[in-house]
Amino acid sequence: MQTTGDQFLVKKINKSIVLEKIRTESPLSRAQVSELTGLNKGTVSALVGELIGDHLVYEIGLGQSSGGRKPVMLHFHKTAGYAVGIELGVTFILTVLTDLEGHIVAEQRLPLDVKQPDEVFERLVQQVRALLDRAPQSPYGIIGIGIGVPGIVDASGTILFAPNLQWESFPLKIKLEQEFGLPVTIDNEANVGALGEKQYGAGQTSDDLIYLSVSTGVGSGIILGGRLFRGASGFSGEIGHTSIEVNGRRCSCGNRGCLELYASEGALLEQAASMGIDSFDQLVERAEAGAPEALQLFRQTGEYLGIGIANIINSFNPGLILIGGQMVGAEAWLRNPVQRVVRQRSLPYHREGLEIRFASLKMHSAVLGAAYYAISAFLYKDRVTL
Amino acid sequence: MQTTGDQFLVKKINKSIVLEKIRTESPLSRAQVSELTGLNKGTVSALVGELIGDHLVYEIGLGQSSGGRKPVMLHFHKTAGYAVGIELGVTFILTVLTDLEGHIVAEQRLPLDVKQPDEVFERLVQQVRALLDRAPQSPYGIIGIGIGVPGIVDASGTILFAPNLQWESFPLKIKLEQEFGLPVTIDNEANVGALGEKQYGAGQTSDDLIYLSVSTGVGSGIILGGRLFRGASGFSGEIGHTSIEVNGRRCSCGNRGCLELYASEGALLEQAASMGIDSFDQLVERAEAGAPEALQLFRQTGEYLGIGIANIINSFNPGLILIGGQMVGAEAWLRNPVQRVVRQRSLPYHREGLEIRFASLKMHSAVLGAAYYAISAFLYKDRVTL
DNA sequence: AACTTAGTTTGTCGGATGTACAAAGTCGGA
DNA sequence: TCCGACTTTGTACATCCGACAAACTAAGTT
């Protein structure tokens, strides 16, 4: 039984449209909203009235006249509530408190030296609790918790498998909801990163974008037609485990020649070990100092990354590719080799109108995406998009 | 200015839902439609009344009573109009006339020995004209022409590039519309093939499926969330030109180690040449006779295909992979190697709930998909889906 | 006769729309 | 500087449309 149409549906649609416009393009007057959306002036008036009652919109005062009565300018009420965004990393927990526009009002980073699920969960809870204490008063208070994790998550919010944490079947969503009594949204780190960049970062211009999260491994978040594409079971985007070398090295996943064996932080450090380097930051320092081996290593990584990206371009024909994760720190040395290889290997028509950029939120793509997840779940609870 | 909601939108949505239900699950009574859709009985009555007035639904008579008044059974009026479906191949033009349920009522196949755009276009027009003459009388007559082509098509219906036909920038849609004064829909052969299998063939069960068209090259049609995904500019699905071998052979596309150099009819025939074989059918004959070299060739092709498919699975997490194109003729020898390699190389969670099948419409996937394109454009002109 | 099921009719309700209008401006000319 | 003409903003009100619930008719079964 699918969603059918009735008057309530119509109202939900229109109210969402009005809120969305004000949220993304404020300040706006009622008249401008009517103009921009095509909705009747009276309709806009009524809906804005409700949104003001909902504390989601407020009047900021009079604007400039353009030859007639002065307009009443409307703003999105970004402090009507706050969201918690979490990135559960392999070696850290990053938590932020944001307003409804995704501005960070508090931030905490806790290094992680343990991996046991229950231990980690306890620290996670502590972090969130500390953050909640710092939340300002607001009409709605904390509206939800969003979290990105380094693993595969099913529809019920259970982490099925997180290789780098060595977790299996951990019902994180349910446990967090029980702990805090707040709505919890959870997804793969690459998916929330994609969402973050699309909403607040370098991805705002494109509706068909692929966010590549290049860290220990290579994951991706796929946004098609403006929406996150999760695949049939919610596991889409494991681009790090596509094979680019039929008889390449064996990967822990069972496949051979996986992209992330050649183009990831893990692959990079493995090779850098022979140079006596054991962290990404060290390697970046060397490159900054102009060490040829370091530069060569980055160039090679960029080239492999370009191969993976060309494959994505030919398959998906996205409008934008965003490179994120740890690897954004090496943008200076990666940019050219990536671009060159993509130019060589992708199809000409696909390349037209395509952009390749680096994530602009840097280390915050995922936390902000996670927070936005919670925010959009709150703002558009029963939203219907056409 | 986006689509906003009003009463007309509601009606369009509901009318589409009712028609869709009757079209796909007839015979149904009004009461059953109400039950299945969740729409009020009165609403269904009114909408069915209109659909009957539109000649799209008719009453077939009384059905079985289940303890009360006998229901009036409704049927989709599949002969209210006819659609033309065309597959423009490299060596042939296949045209069909179908009713609105996609049943073929007339079919023509013309071998093509020319490639010049104007020549081909002329023959195409002749074929269509001959088909139109054979169309039965019906309330709507011919409702549209759908066509699948072996190349890249832009949003305006221009064939930008068709390598195997050696065409560039040919405005096929506009020319056909001028010629026949009928609505024309046009898309890549793999995309219409995907649509055909999804609608009438082996893909009816899945909303996230990838149709692999394995013929001279390897293309794909990607259906996500029940809709065809075209990419940012409409060129998605060139999976044949994803690289599976970094330093593999050069491909005409500029890339190296492209999948279709290893797993396509073209690749197969190239290798079969040394056996004195120069057509796909000959190779199949040999395999049927049990010739070890032929069997080995198919096995190898299946293995490479499996590698490409594993990459697709890990990237997209589809619910179903359909193998179509010429290669369906070799299902018997391909099935096992493909399955084996996919089992070895795809991620376990992605493999769960995934099916790999061969296209069930065989050579008709594309024509029927093309016809369905035209049919759905007619039935759901201003449809809005939620 | 009592109960079921199918389908229609009728009145109600919610929400978008168009029109009219009041409020509050701008602007140009005397 | 003042005044009248015109603009723009936002609200009020009557109307229309379509879904819905409930009552009702029709036609069966048990």
pLDDT value for B386:
54
* Chain B: closest CA distance from residue A289 (Å): 31
**Measured distance CA(A79)–CA(A76) in Å, rounded:** 9
**Measured distance CA(A203)–CA(A320) in Å, rounded:** 7
CA–CA distance from B40 to each of B44, B50, B211 (Å)? 6, 16, 38
Answer yes or no: do B350 and A255 touch at CB < 8 A.
Answer: no
CA–CA distance from B352 to each of A164, B112, B246, B329 (Å)? 22, 44, 29, 27
**Measured distance CA(A298)–CA(A76) in Å, rounded:** 44
Kindly calculate the radius of gyration of chain B based on its CA atoms and give it in whole angstroms. 23
CB pairs below 8 Å between A and B: how many? Answer: 204
Fold match, A7-76 / A203-360? no
Q: Does the C-beta of B9 come within 7 A of strand D?
A: no
Among A243, A251, A304, which would you mutate to test the B interface (most chain B Cβ atoms within 10 Å of its Cβ)? Answer: A243
| Average per-residue pLDDT for chain A | 93
Residue A44's DSSP bridge partners are none
Residues, chain B: 386
**Measured distance CA(A199)–CA(A187) in Å, rounded:** 16
Nearest to B374 by CA among B82, B42, B64, B134: B82
DSSP-derived letter for residue A364 is G
* pLDDT tens track for A93-106: 999 999 999 999 99
Identify whether the C-beta of residue A123 lies closer than 8 Å to the C-beta of residue A113. Answer: no
Residue A37: list chain B partners with CB under 8 A.
1-2, 4
CA–CA distance from A205 to each of A24, A116, A320, A322, A354 (Å)? 13, 40, 9, 12, 12
Superfamily in which the A203-360 domain is placed by CATH = ATPase, nucleotide binding domain (3.30.420.40)
pLDDT value for B68:
82
Identify whether the C-beta of residue A372 lies closer than 8 Å to the C-beta of residue A194. Answer: no
Question: Would strands B104-111 and B92-99 be described as parallel, antiparallel, or unpaired?
Answer: antiparallel
Residue of B nearest to A312 (CA): B242
Tell me the CATH number for domain B7-76. Answer: 1.10.10.10
Nearest to A193 by CA among A221, A165, A216, A170: A221
Domain residue ranges in chain A:
7-76, 82-193+366-379, 203-360
Residue where the block lists tokens 């009002």: A105
Domain B82-193+366-379 has CATH 3.30.420.40: yes
- Which A residues 37-96 have CB within 7 Å of strand D? 41-42, 45, 48-49, 65-72
In strand D, which positions have an atom below 7 A from any protein CB?
A: 6-13, 16-23, 26-30
Nucleotide nearest to A65 (CA to C1'): C25
Nucleotide nearest to A6 (CA to C1'): D19
Pick the CATH number of B203-359 from 3.60.10.10, 3.30.70.260, 3.40.920.10, 3.30.420.40: 3.30.420.40
Answer yes or no: do A231 and B208 touch at CB < 8 A.
Answer: yes
The letter for the amino acid at B289 is: A
- Protein CA B67 to sugar C1' C4 (Å): 5
- Protein CA B53 to sugar C1' C5 (Å): 26
Q: For a pLDDT cut of 90, what percent of chain A falls above it?
A: 85
| Nearest protein residue to nucleotide D30, judged by CA and C1' positions | B67
* pLDDT tens track for B374-383: 999 999 876 5
The letter for the amino acid at A264 is: S
Residue where the block lists tokens 């109009």: B81
* pLDDT tens track for B22-39: 999 989 999 999 999 999
State both tokens at A102: 């995704």
Residue B232: list chain A partners with CB under 8 A.
206-208, 317-320, 353-354
Residue B237: list chain A partners with CB under 8 A.
315, 317
| Nearest protein residue to nucleotide D21, judged by CA and C1' positions | B40
Residue A250's DSSP bridge partners are A256
Given 3-state DSSP classes, what are the helix, strand and coil percentages for chain A, each rounded to the nearest 5? 45, 25, 35
The letter for the amino acid at A317 is: N
Nucleotide nearest to A9 (CA to C1'): C15
pLDDT value for B333:
96
Residue A352: list chain B partners with CB under 8 A.
233
pLDDT value for A385:
58
Burial A288-311 (b: 16+ CB within 10 A, else e): eeeeeebeebbbbbbbbbbbbbbb
pLDDT value for A64:
82
pLDDT value for A62:
87
- The pLDDT tens digits along chain B (386 residues) read 577 878 888 999 999 999 999 999 989 999 999 999 999 999 999 999 999 999 999 999 898 888 788 999 999 999 999 999 999 999 999 999 999 999 999 999 999 999 999 999 999 999 999 999 999 999 999 999 999 999 999 999 999 999 889 999 999 999 999 999 999 999 999 999 999 999 999 999 999 999 999 998 999 999 998 999 999 998 999 999 999 999 999 999 989 999 999 999 999 999 999 888 989 999 999 999 999 999 999 999 999 999 999 999 999 999 999 999 989 999 999 999 999 999 999 999 999 989 999 999 999 999 999 999 999 999 987 655 55
* Strand (E) or helix (H) holding B105: strand B104-111
**Measured distance CA(A220)–CA(A205) in Å, rounded:** 18
Mean pLDDT by 10 residues, chain A (386 residues): 79 92 91 92 93 93 83 94 96 97 97 94 97 96 97 94 92 97 96 97 95 94 93 92 96 94 94 90 94 95 97 96 94 96 95 94 96 94 61
What is the SS3 assignment for A279?
coil
Identify whether the C-beta of residue B173 lies closer than 8 Å to the C-beta of residue B184. Answer: yes
